[in-house]
């Protein structure tokens, strides 16, 4: 296997391994002795006979710590579970955790440290687009491997990154289709925080609404990050009376947005809203009572009823406390170490080029969200789910789409 | 006279102690660090040294001029952005950006549906213009702010708060106008300068040394300013602004100049930052970085140029080390440092050094120590003026034939002095 | 007009006016404490926002306790009082430990209190976690009142407004009608003479500072009704509130009220017609420009210098 | 207003603070080489008059002409440059600088930003500093940090700083406050010396001292001139006795 030049046969071999996998030829159990370090690590990564170093790079401090803590927990949980199963190619994963401190340059600095000093074999990390954009050149230059968990705006595809969250079209199109059909919605009000992800998402949403749904966008609004005063915006919405508010407000603003919306009389009995930025994590801060009845479009909800998810939720709560909640990104972060394990085992090597080549085509059947497939563009094929929030802070899945292929550079939406 | 004696005698370099200090710093920056650490760490240190430009500017502005700007991030950012605009344009040639709807413009513009390069970006295609812009735009901006404020004698904490507000405005503006600025992501993925790849190790060494030389340039320029009559006037203004004004000087012009000079130095630091780190983001423009840069300067010793460089290195090194090992402790440490420096070591490392250097009789050099400015506790603040006035009055009263009148007069004057007008030294 | 009926526009004007008012009350509550500390004492307290956060966390904690004992309806009143008390106590300590040593160096207080704010933020993070938390509001505070079917006036906004009025009145009474207020003003006017006539000026300083912090605590309690609480919540409003105080003329309570009103209404109206960030930029820019023209602020009294 | 041969012509000068007239319609002329003393009870407006002349306070009405140049329109540093020097009530010197540096900084060359950056300590400066230092009796303290001077010496140093600029009009606000009897005598001599070729206005309370130096005395009361003339005449004035010397 290792004599094959994988770079040249990326697709072929991907299909081949897929076939072998299906035939049960490659199993999850491997022993270090079968894979001598000199063979599986030809590029000087921090891989020994018994261990492999993997970096975790998130914000443990600063404003983003709120969001990124869940991802750190999920990644650590997955790594602990993998180690309990014997590790990767018989090697235990050693975690080197670095703090991005909610500061984009720090992400670049720490990524550099992980790749150049610690020589980690892969990195689970980044959360905001800004932190990823800052760290990306480092990963590309040092040929590192990043598993990135957050749903994001797309418009990016790097051989050094696997995107375990959804890109924008996956999250947006099916959700809009559903709400337009279900609620007979014709007029939409778009509102988001003022940065690249909401703006790109709204651009796609507007095109879809205008060109495919025959609807009308009656207002589009962006709120400065961290702003907590929504009085004027809410009044604008009241004046326009949209059928649906389509929202992508993030961070601290999110809580203020829902609280003030309710206080202004626009609760779910009077107003339909679909958000793409509220997960179980956010609900903790917003409060279920402020959110009850509104919808979120995500690929994962904690309440999903399948065996893999039940096990995941149970393990997560056992590890991180019974009050812990799991949002979409947390689940996507949980996929990272598992996908990495699968990729290394498919490649039979820790070498980054081989691992990159081995992962596309792999179907991860035991993902809590349900089976997902890694595509050649390094994104996942997933389903979209619409959840309706209850007062208890959990969402009821009211709609599940079919499988949606990732399309980070959507034609006709740019 | 040997060269050594000549240098030691030079007022510009600050006597024997000054020469030794500079020599040690040069050895540290140009020899010890490049030989002692690997390129990864050296690149980090290069990044810290770009903040030292701001700290050196603050020594002039704050340590010597008594003007505390909480908006130096503005200038660091402007310089950094100007350089980033040039590099971004070079990184956005039509071939690399062919997947965009509009090839040839920076990626973030394309994401924000811009279809042509905005007019103010055009000149940044030229490196000479960019260097010109790095030097002049921040200085011009500082001139406008400085002119408006110093001509109206806004000083003290008012100046600090207003510069802080300006920093906030600029960072909101950059984040809000993302089609033109890259928004909160900043400008990333900068690769080459005139075709020279700035990401390679050799480029990093070269940039590190260039940065070090420029920093020494800034230090020498500052030393020159400080050793001239201007420097003396700056100290004089800090302590007795009225006296300077009534000695025939237009105080505001001096303040505007020093503010512009500090701004220009910060901007050079910003440009060097962009070159060494490979991107620029609004997180260097706002309030938090601006205040952090003040603490670099304060830790080093607000009146000492060399101290400011060490302060910057030390705080940033501490930040990196602590945030790697104990991220939770870092904020405690940083916060504690602010408080401790202000309360117990107002002259920072340089102050501690001086104390022991004097105690053990190292580098005795009288002319210099006499001129070395200490942190003043007079001039700006009401209470000190009050006590001073009072003691003068009391002295006068004992001599005066009319004690009662004098006490009555004291009372009245106090009311005027302790007016809420705590602006500058006017009270 | 623009495709809307006069009635619709009228409703929006009313609600818009109210949202400006509600922003005004939040700014006012933040700025009042600051105005006392900054205006009366000349101390720049950059940690003011963190004192607000103390109040906010107190309210959140009490709401949790209240929820477990089932008296969610009235806990808010207690929360406000305890928030005040706690912030007051911490302020008292901080004045004793740090501020009193720095009265002679206003620029240095600025740096020291900034350091303090970092420490406090990390204490919040270590104690309450990095995630934002939210107080569960009493049932009666949710929703809105409808003078007409198409006008919604948020009840929490009304509540905060009432609270702000009460606090402002309290501050006024304290500063201008009480013996303590007299001592405070005497100390501000002439520290030495105040000391000479037997006023314990050190104690006056401490109480004044603590009072300002306590009011920030109340602001924090009020803030939980409109947004969530996190370790860095305090930083959101700190520049805004400084601008309010400076713009109003540092020593004047009337000035603080007027400037909070002006800034809030301007920002609210501009944000209706522009994007939110441009609205904010325009407001701040206008304030800075006016301050450059008239550095002493709106309501500074003329004094013989 | 017509031009005069007086060094300083103050006519109808008025300033009010929120309705309170601190200086009310004041008219006063100072001759060449005259030493004028302003006296008056507290709140009479003496310091305010000096503030008005040197531009620290802006007048509400009236005119101040110095060598027939209108001062009310000029900014502080322009007034100083036209030849008016002002000493403040409390010794206002640069405590961190040496006596020498204090005097050097006051030398009237290199007053612009770029001038000060290129200013050189020439022989001329050196001579001027030594001459003035001798005048103010501080020659042996030239290298001392000025914070270490006695209160009286600080007063002298400030006067010296003004002398460095060779002003035509020198205004001194309570120059002997805090001085010992001996120092007062020395100061009186100093003032008598320096008014040889310039006009001087002094505010002083100590009548003994005033007698020693004054050519003419102007008594202010509530912002107005109560009496003016030689010391003996003014001391005999009943109005003056009533409001000022009487208690």
Residue A57, beta-bridge partner list:
A98, A125
Using a CB–CB cutoff of 8 Å, tell me whether B364 touches chain A: no
Compute the average pLDDT of residues D10-35. 88
Compute the average pLDDT of residues C30-39. 86
Tokens 């407006």 label which residue? Answer: D45
The pLDDT, as a whole number, for residue B170 is: 94
Cα–Cα distance, B333 to B320 (Å, whole number): 12
Compute the average pLDDT of residues C109-115. 90
A&C contacts, CB < 8 Å: 133
Residues of C in contact with A227 (CB under 8 A): 276-277, 280
Name the average pLDDT for chain B: 81
Cα–Cα distance, B2 to B274 (Å, whole number): 42
The pLDDT, as a whole number, for residue A256 is: 86
Token digits for B66? 């008594």
The tens digit of pLDDT for each residue in C265-284 reads: 998 888 888 888 888 899 99
Q: Do residue B156 and residue B183 come from a single domain?
A: yes
Residue C266 CA: distances (Å) to CA of B231, B401, C258, C271:
44, 59, 12, 8
Q: Do residue B245 and residue B393 come from a single domain?
A: no
Substitution target in C44, C102, C108, C232 with the highest count of B β-carbons within 10 Å is C108
Q: Report which of residues A345 and B321 the model is more confident about.
A: A345
Q: Do residue B98 and residue B211 come from a single domain?
A: yes
Domain limits, chain A: 10-165+305-378, 168-298+386-404
What is the DSSP secondary-structure string of B396-414?
HHHH-S-HHHHHHHHHHHH
Given a contact as 3+ CB pairs under 8 Å, which chains touch C?
A, B, D
Q: Smallest Cβ distance to B188: which of A134, A153, A200?
A: A134
Cα–Cα distance, B101 to B103 (Å, whole number): 6
CATH classification (class only), A168-298+386-404: alpha beta
pLDDT at C50 over 80: yes
Q: Do residue B216 and residue B279 come from a single domain?
A: yes
ipTM: 0.85
Q: Report which of residues A120 and C8 the model is more confident about.
A: A120
Binned at pLDDT 50, 70 and 90, residue B371 comes out as very low
What is the DSSP secondary-structure string of C3-65?
T--HHHHHHHHHHHHHHHHHHHHHHHHHHHHHIIIIIIH----TTHHHHHHHHHHHHHHHHHH
Angle at CA of residue A51, ends A50 and A52, nearest 5°:
145
Q: Is residue B188 part of a domain?
A: yes
pLDDT at B426 over 50: no
> How many C-beta atoms lie closer than 10 Å to residue C145's C-beta?
12
- Choose the weakest-confidence range: A13-22, A273-282, B73-82, B258-267: A13-22
The pLDDT, as a whole number, for residue B14 is: 67
B193: left (phi over 0), alpha (psi -120 to 50) or beta: beta
Q: Do residue B89 and residue B199 come from a single domain?
A: yes
pLDDT at B385 over 70: no
Q: Do residue B315 and residue B339 come from a single domain?
A: yes
Helix (H) or strand (E) holding A51: strand A51-58
Q: Is A187 exposed, middle or buried (0-12, 13-18, 19+ CB in 10 A)?
A: middle
pTM above 0.90, yes or no: no
Using a CB–CB cutoff of 8 Å, tell me whether D57 touches chain C: yes
Q: Is residue B376 part of a domain?
A: no
The pLDDT, as a whole number, for residue B417 is: 32
Residue C29 CA: distances (Å) to CA of C79, C87, C113, C241, D22:
16, 14, 20, 9, 39
What is the DSSP secondary-structure string of B337-400?
HHHHHHHH-TTHHHHHHHHHHHHTTTT--HHHHHHPPPPP-SSS-HHHHHHHHHHHHHHHHHH-
Q: Report which of residues C301 and B8 the model is more confident about.
A: B8
The pLDDT, as a whole number, for residue B82 is: 96
Tokens 């910060």 label which residue? Answer: B266
List of residues 6+ apart from C2 with CB closer than 8 A: none
The pLDDT, as a whole number, for residue B279 is: 87
Chain A residue with the nearest C-alpha to that of C19: A231
Q: Report which of residues C14 and D13 the model is more confident about.
A: D13
Substitution target in C36, C40, C95, C122 with the highest count of B β-carbons within 10 Å is C122
Cα–Cα distance, C78 to A297 (Å, whole number): 39
List of residues 6+ apart from C194 with CB closer than 8 A: C183, C186, C187, C201, C204
Using a CB–CB cutoff of 8 Å, tell me whether C17 touches chain A: no
Binned at pLDDT 50, 70 and 90, residue B12 comes out as low
Q: What are phi and psi of B114, to 5 degrees?
A: -80, 145
Number of domains in chain B: 2
Of A167, B372, C190, nearest to D145 (Cα)?
A: B372
Residue A242 CA: distances (Å) to CA of A238, A266, C156, D105:
8, 12, 25, 71
Q: D161 with D103: CB under 8 angstroms?
A: yes
pLDDT at B422 over 50: no
The pLDDT, as a whole number, for residue B3 is: 65
Would you call C132 and A233 a contact, using CB atoms and an 8 Å cutoff?
no
Substitution target in B188, B316, B317, B325 with the highest count of A β-carbons within 10 Å is B188
Name the average pLDDT for chain D: 87
The tens digit of pLDDT for each residue in B183-204 reads: 888 898 888 999 999 988 899 9
Compute the average pLDDT of residues C157-183. 89
Using a CB–CB cutoff of 8 Å, tell me whether C140 touches chain A: no
**What is the pairing mode between strands A395-404 and B192-193?**
unpaired
Would you call B246 and D143 a contact, using CB atoms and an 8 Å cutoff?
no
Q: Mapping DSSP to helix (H, G, I), strand (E, B) and coil, where does residue A67 land?
A: helix
The pLDDT, as a whole number, for residue C240 is: 86
The pLDDT, as a whole number, for residue A173 is: 92
Compute the average pLDDT of residues D14-21. 83
Of B374, B386, B378, nearest to B413 (Cα)?
A: B386
Q: Report which of residues D190 and D19 the model is more confident about.
A: D190
Residues of D in contact with C304 (CB under 8 A): 17, 20, 22, 48
Residue A389, beta-bridge partner list:
A395
Q: Do residue B117 and residue B206 come from a single domain?
A: yes
The tens digit of pLDDT for each residue in D169-182 reads: 999 998 888 888 88
Compute the average pLDDT of residues D214-220. 90
Would you call B233 and D151 a contact, using CB atoms and an 8 Å cutoff?
no
Q: Do residue B313 and residue B387 come from a single domain?
A: no
Q: Is residue B422 part of a domain?
A: no
Question: At CB < 8 Å, which residues of chain B contact D?
Answer: 224-225, 228-230, 232-233, 235-236, 239-240, 242-251, 253-254, 257, 370-371, 373-374, 376, 378, 388-389, 392-393, 395-396, 399-402, 405-406, 408-409, 412
Residues of D in contact with C301 (CB under 8 A): 18
Substitution target in B157, B159, B383, B388 with the highest count of C β-carbons within 10 Å is B157
pLDDT at B84 over 50: yes
- Choose the weakest-confidence range: B408-412, C172-176, D172-176: B408-412
Cα–Cα distance, A310 to B205 (Å, whole number): 53
pLDDT at C2 over 80: no
Cα–Cα distance, C179 to C174 (Å, whole number): 8
Q: Mapping DSSP to helix (H, G, I), strand (E, B) and coil, where does residue A123 land?
A: strand
Of B351, B19, B23, nearest to B32 (Cα)?
A: B23
Would you call B283 and A196 a contact, using CB atoms and an 8 Å cutoff?
no
Q: Smallest Cβ distance to C132: which of A66, A221, A239?
A: A66
CA torsion through residues A353, A356, A360, A366, sign = positive
Q: What is the pLDDT along chain A (414 residues), one digit of tens a residue?
A: 344 444 444 444 444 444 444 444 444 455 667 888 888 999 999 999 999 999 999 988 776 777 788 999 999 999 999 999 999 999 999 999 998 888 888 899 899 999 999 999 999 999 988 899 889 999 999 999 999 999 998 888 999 999 999 999 999 999 999 999 999 999 999 999 888 889 889 989 999 999 999 999 999 998 887 788 888 889 889 888 999 999 999 877 888 899 888 888 888 888 999 999 999 988 877 888 889 999 999 999 999 999 999 999 999 999 999 888 999 999 999 999 999 999 999 999 999 999 999 999 999 999 999 999 999 999 999 999 999 999 998 999 999 999 999 999 888 776
pLDDT at C185 over 90: no
Residues of C in contact with B343 (CB under 8 A): 98, 101-102, 112
Q: Is A355 exposed, middle or buried (0-12, 13-18, 19+ CB in 10 A)?
A: buried
Binned at pLDDT 50, 70 and 90, residue B11 comes out as low
Token digits for A128? 């905001």
Token digits for A157? 């595809």
CATH 3.40.50.2300 assigned to domain A10-165+305-378? The reply is yes
Q: Do residue B300 and residue B412 come from a single domain?
A: no
Chain A residue with the nearest C-alpha to that of C136: A287
Binned at pLDDT 50, 70 and 90, residue C251 comes out as low
Domain enclosing residue B397, as ranges: 382-417
- Chain centre to alpha carbon of residue B310: 14
**What is the pairing mode between strands A161-163 and A122-125?**
unpaired
Using a CB–CB cutoff of 8 Å, tell me whether A296 touches chain C: no
Would you call D161 and B243 a contact, using CB atoms and an 8 Å cutoff?
yes
Substitution target in A68, A134, A195 with the highest count of B β-carbons within 10 Å is A134
Domains within chain D, CATH numbers bracketed:
8-245 (3.40.50.300)
Helix (H) or strand (E) holding B54: helix B39-58
The pLDDT, as a whole number, for residue B90 is: 93
pLDDT at C72 over 60: yes
Q: Smallest Cβ distance to B422: which of C42, C116, C191?
A: C42
Q: Is residue B409 part of a domain?
A: yes
Q: C110 with C44: CB under 8 angstroms?
A: yes
The pLDDT, as a whole number, for residue B7 is: 65
- Choose the weakest-confidence range: A375-389, B365-379, C237-251: B365-379
Residue B236, beta-bridge partner list:
none
Q: What are phi and psi of D153, to 5 degrees?
A: -65, -35
Q: Smallest Cβ distance to C189: which of B149, B390, B415?
A: B415
Residues of A in contact with B323 (CB under 8 A): 61, 99, 101, 106
Domain limits, chain C: 20-235
Q: Provide, rounded to the nearest whole percent, the portion of chain D with pLDDT above 90.
A: 32
Q: Smallest Cβ distance to D106: which of B230, B247, B250?
A: B247
Q: Report which of residues B407 and D151 the model is more confident about.
A: D151
Using a CB–CB cutoff of 8 Å, tell me whether C300 touches chain D: no
Q: Provide, rounded to the nearest whole percent, the portion of chain B with pLDDT above 70.
A: 80
Q: Is residue B396 part of a domain?
A: yes
């Amino acid at each position: 296997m290792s004599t094959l030049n994988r770079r040249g046969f990326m697709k072929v071999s991907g299909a081949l391994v897929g076939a072998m996998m299906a035939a049960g030829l490659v199993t999850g159990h491997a022993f270090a002795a079968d894979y001598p370090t000199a063979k599986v690590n030809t590029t000087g990564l921090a891989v020994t006979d018994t261990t492999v170093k993997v970096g975790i790079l998130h914000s443990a401090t600063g404003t983003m710590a709120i969001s990124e803590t869940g991802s750190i927990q999920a990644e650590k949980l997955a790594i602990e579970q993998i180690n309990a199963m014997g590790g990767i190619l018989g090697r235990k994963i050693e975690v080197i955790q670095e703090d991005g401190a909610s500061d984009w340059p720090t992400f670049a600095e720490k990524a550099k440290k992980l790749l150049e000093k610690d020589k980690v074999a892969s990195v689970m990390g980044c959360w905001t687009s800004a932190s990823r954009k800052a760290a990306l050149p480092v990963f590309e230059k040092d040929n590192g491997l990043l598993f990135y968990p957050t749903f994001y705006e797309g418009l990016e595809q790097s051989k050094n990154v696997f995107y375990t969250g959804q890109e924008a079209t996956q999250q947006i199109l099916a959700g809009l289709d559903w709400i337009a059909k279900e609620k007979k919605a014709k007029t939409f009000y778009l509102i988001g925080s003022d940065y690249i992800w909401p703006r790109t998402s709204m651009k796609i949403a507007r095109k879809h609404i205008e060109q495919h749904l025959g609807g009308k966008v009656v207002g589009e609004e962006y709120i400065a990050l961290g702003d907590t005063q929504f009085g004027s915006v809410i009044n604008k919405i009241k004046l326009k009376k949209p059928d649906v508010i389509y929202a992508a407000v993030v961070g601290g603003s999110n809580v203020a947005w829902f609280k003030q919306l309710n206080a202004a009389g626009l609760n779910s009995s009077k107003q339909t809203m679909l958000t793409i930025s509220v997960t179980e994590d956010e609900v903790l801060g917003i409060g279920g009572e402020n959110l009850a009845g509104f919808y979120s479009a995500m690929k994962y909800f904690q309440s999903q009823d399948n065996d893999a998810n039940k096990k995941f939720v149970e393990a997560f709560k056992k590890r991180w406390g019974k009050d812990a909640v799991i949002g979409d990104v947390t689940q996507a972060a949980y996929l990272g170490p598992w996908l990495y394990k699968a990729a290394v085992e498919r490649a039979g090597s820790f070498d980054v080029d081989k691992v990159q080549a081995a992962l596309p085509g792999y179907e991860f059947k035991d993902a809590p969200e349900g089976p997902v497939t890694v595509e050649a563009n390094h994104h996942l094929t997933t389903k979209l789910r619409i959840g309706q929030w209850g007062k208890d802070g959990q969402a009821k899945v009211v709609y599940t789409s079919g499988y949606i292929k990732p399309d980070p550079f959507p034609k006709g939406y740019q | 006279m040997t060269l050594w004696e000549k240098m030691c005698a030079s007022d510009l370099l600050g006597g024997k102690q000054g020469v030794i200090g500079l020599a040690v710093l040069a050895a540290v920056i140009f020899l010890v660090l490049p030989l002692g650490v690997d390129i990864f760490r050296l690149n980090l240190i290069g990044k810290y040294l770009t903040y030292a430009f701001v700290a050196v500017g603050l020594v002039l502005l704050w340590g010597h001029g008594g003007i505390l700007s909480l908006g130096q991030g503005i200038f660091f950012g402007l310089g950094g952005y100007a350089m980033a605009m040039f590099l971004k344009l070079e990184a956005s040639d039509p071939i690399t950006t062919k997947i965009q709807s509009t090839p040839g413009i920076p990626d973030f513009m394309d994401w924000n549906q811009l279809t042509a390069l905005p007019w103010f970006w055009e000149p940044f295609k030229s490196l000479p213009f960019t260097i010109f812009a790095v030097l002049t735009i921040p200085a011009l901006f500082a001139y406008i702010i400085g002119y408006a404020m110093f001509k109206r004698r806004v000083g003290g904490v008012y100046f600090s708060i207003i510069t802080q507000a300006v920093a906030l405005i600029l960072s909101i503006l950059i984040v809000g106008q993302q089609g033109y600025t890259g928004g909160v992501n900043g400008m990333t993925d900068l690769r080459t300068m005139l075709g020279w790849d700035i990401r390679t190790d050799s480029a990093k060494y070269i940039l590190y040394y260039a940065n070090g030389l420029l920093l020494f340039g800034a230090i020498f320029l500052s030393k020159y300013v400080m050793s001239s009559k201007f420097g003396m006037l700056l100290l004089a203004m800090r302590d007795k602004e009225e006296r300077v004004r009534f000695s025939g000087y237009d105080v505001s012009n001096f303040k505007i100049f020093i503010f512009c000079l500090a701004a220009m130095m910060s901007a050079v630091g910003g440009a060097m930052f962009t070159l060494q780190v490979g991107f620029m983001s609004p997180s260097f423009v706002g309030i938090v970085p601006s205040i952090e840069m003040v603490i670099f300067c304060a830790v080093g010793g607000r009146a000492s140029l060399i101290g400011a460089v060490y302060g910057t290195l030390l705080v940033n090194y501490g930040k990196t080390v602590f945030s790697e090992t104990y991220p939770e402790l870092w904020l405690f440490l940083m916060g504690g440092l602010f408080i401790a420096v202000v309360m117990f070591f107002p002259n920072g490392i340089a102050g501690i050094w001086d104390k022991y250097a004097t105690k053990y009789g190292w580098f005795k050099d009288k002319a210099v120590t006499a001129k070395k400015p200490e942190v003043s506790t007079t001039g700006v603040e009401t209470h000190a003026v009050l006590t001073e006035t009072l003691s003068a009055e009391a002295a006068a009263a004992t001599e005066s034939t009319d004690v009662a009148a004098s006490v009555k007069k004291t009372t009245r004057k106090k009311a005027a002095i302790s007016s809420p007008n705590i602006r500058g030294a006017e009270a | 007009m623009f495709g809307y009926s006069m009635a619709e526009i009228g409703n929006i004007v009313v609600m818009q006016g109210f949202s400006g008012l509600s922003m005004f009350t939040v700014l006012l509550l933040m700025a009042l404490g600051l105005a006392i500390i900054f205006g009366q004492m000349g101390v720049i307290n950059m940690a003011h926002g963190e004192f607000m956060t103390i109040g906010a966390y107190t309210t959140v904690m009490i709401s949790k306790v209240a929820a477990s004992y089932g008296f969610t309806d009235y806990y808010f009143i207690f929360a406000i009082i305890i928030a005040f008390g706690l912030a007051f106590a911490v302020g008292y300590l901080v004045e004793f430990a740090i501020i009193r040593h720095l009265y002679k160096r206003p620029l240095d207080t600025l740096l020291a209190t900034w350091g303090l704010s970092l420490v406090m933020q990390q204490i919040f993070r270590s104690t309450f976690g990095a995630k934002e938390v939210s107080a569960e509001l009493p049932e009666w505070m949710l929703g809105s009142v409808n003078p007409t079917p198409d006008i919604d006036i948020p009840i929490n906004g009304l509540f905060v407004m009432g609270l702000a009025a009460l606090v402002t009145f309290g501050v006024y009474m304290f500063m201008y009608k009480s013996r303590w207020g007299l001592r405070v003003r005497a100390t501000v006017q002439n520290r030495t003479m105040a000391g000479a006539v037997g006023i314990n000026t050190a104690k006056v300083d401490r109480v004044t500072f603590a009072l300002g912090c306590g009011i920030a605590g109340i602001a924090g309690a009020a803030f939980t009704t409109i947004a969530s609480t996190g370790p860095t919540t305090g930083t959101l409003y700190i520049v805004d509130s400084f601008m309010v105080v400076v713009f109003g003329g540092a020593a004047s309570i009337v000035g603080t009220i007027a400037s909070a009103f002006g800034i809030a209404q301007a920002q609210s109206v501009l944000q209706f017609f522009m994007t939110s960030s441009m609205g904010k930029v325009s407001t701040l820019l206008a304030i800075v420009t006016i301050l450059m023209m008239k550095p002493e602020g709106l309501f500074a009294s003329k004094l013989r210098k | 207003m017509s031009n005069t041969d007086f060094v300083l012509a103050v006519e109808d000068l008025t300033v009010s603070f929120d309705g309170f007239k601190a200086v009310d319609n004041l008219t006063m002329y100072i001759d060449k080489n005259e030493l004028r003393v302003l006296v008056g009870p507290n709140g009479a407006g003496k310091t305010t008059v000096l503030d008005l002349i040197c531009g620290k306070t802006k007048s509400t009405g009236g005119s101040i002409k110095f060598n027939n140049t209108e001062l009310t329109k000029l900014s502080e540093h322009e007034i100083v440059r036209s030849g008016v020097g002002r000493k403040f009530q409390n010794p206002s010197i640069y405590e961190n600088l040496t006596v020498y540096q204090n005097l050097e900084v006051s030398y009237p060359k290199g007053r612009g930003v770029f001038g000060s950056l290129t200013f050189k300590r020439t022989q001329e400066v050196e001579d001027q500093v030594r001459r003035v230092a001798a005048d103010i009796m501080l020659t042996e303290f030239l290298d001392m940090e000025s914070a270490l001077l006695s209160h009286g010496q600080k007063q002298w140093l400030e006067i010296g700083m003004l002398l460095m600029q060779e002003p035509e009009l020198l205004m001194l606000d309570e120059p002997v406050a805090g001085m010992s009897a001996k120092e007062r005598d020395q100061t009186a001599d100093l003032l008598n010396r320096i008014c040889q070729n310039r006009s001087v206005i002094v505010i002083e309370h100590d009548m003994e001292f005033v007698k020693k130096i004054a050519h003419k005395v102007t008594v202010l009361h509530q912002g107005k001139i109560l009496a003016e003339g030689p010391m003996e005449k003014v001391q005999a004035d009943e109005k003056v006795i009533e409001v000022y010397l009487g208690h």
